[in-house]
Amino acid sequence: MRRLYDINFFVKLAAGFLVMLLAWVAPDWRYGVPLAVANLIFLAAIRIPSLGGYIKGVTLLVGLVIASWMANLLIQGMGALDALLLSAGMAARLVTTTAAFYFIMETSSPGSILAACSAAGLPPVATLVLSLTFGIIPMLRDDFDRIADAQRARGMEIDDVPLPTRLRFALARGVPLLVQSIRMAHAISLSLSLYGFDVKRRRTSWRNVGLLVEPRLALKEEDHGH
């Protein structure tokens, strides 16, 4: 499974778009739902990190989509079963789409994205935007969990309380998360300035990049380059 992490970011991105395209061209729920389920099984099989959190989020998404679509379709006079199946088809498309991008996000480190972009000759700004977009979300998620632990360690009961209270406490994490995001942005900005990032200068990479991106430097092997 480790090899999945080493696949070139652009190969994963292309595969993700292809899977998403399949989900959206699927004519109805009979194709969409199995595709969504297959994606979830794939994520479980490769032991993607934090799958439990993703499943919770996606369950909430499915519930909201089905409820809102069914209400709308029933008001328009559609039969209950037809409305349910149509809503399920839409929810399945969203599950497949989010699963594909969750896979890309979790299996692509900012470093491997930087390397893939530099090797592809992308402008430095595009390189930076892509690596930050896909790299910063897991960092913010980790910070969100860390703040929850800080709340627990300070005596805030967030585990053994009703759901509305839990949601209210989760919202209270917004302020420190915002502060942390600003600090992170400052750290990245400082790091870019100190270490010579220049939008007018093409970057290079220490990694050998092909369909796979070299995950670590071999200390004793000869570097043949690519």
Residues lying near other proteins in the complex (CB under 8 A): 109-112, 114-115, 118, 135-136, 138-139, 142, 146-147, 149-160, 172-173, 175-176, 179, 183-184, 186-188, 190-198, 201-208, 215-217, 219, 223, 225
With a CB cutoff of 8 Å and minimum separation 6, the contacts of 98 are: 54, 58, 61
With a CB cutoff of 8 Å and minimum separation 6, the contacts of 20 are: 96, 97, 100, 101
At its nearest, how many Å lie between other proteins and the CB of residue 118? 7
The nearer residue to other proteins, 164 or 195, going by C-beta atoms, is 195
Euclidean distance between CA atoms 226 and 208, whole angstroms: 6
At its nearest, how many Å lie between other proteins and the CB of residue 225? 6
- Can you say whether residue 218 is alpha, beta or left, with left for phi > 0 and alpha for psi between -120 and 50 degrees? beta
The SS3 assignment for 101 reads helix
At its nearest, how many Å lie between other proteins and the CB of residue 72? 39
At its nearest, how many Å lie between other proteins and the CB of residue 184? 7
The nearer residue to other proteins, 39 or 131, going by C-beta atoms, is 131
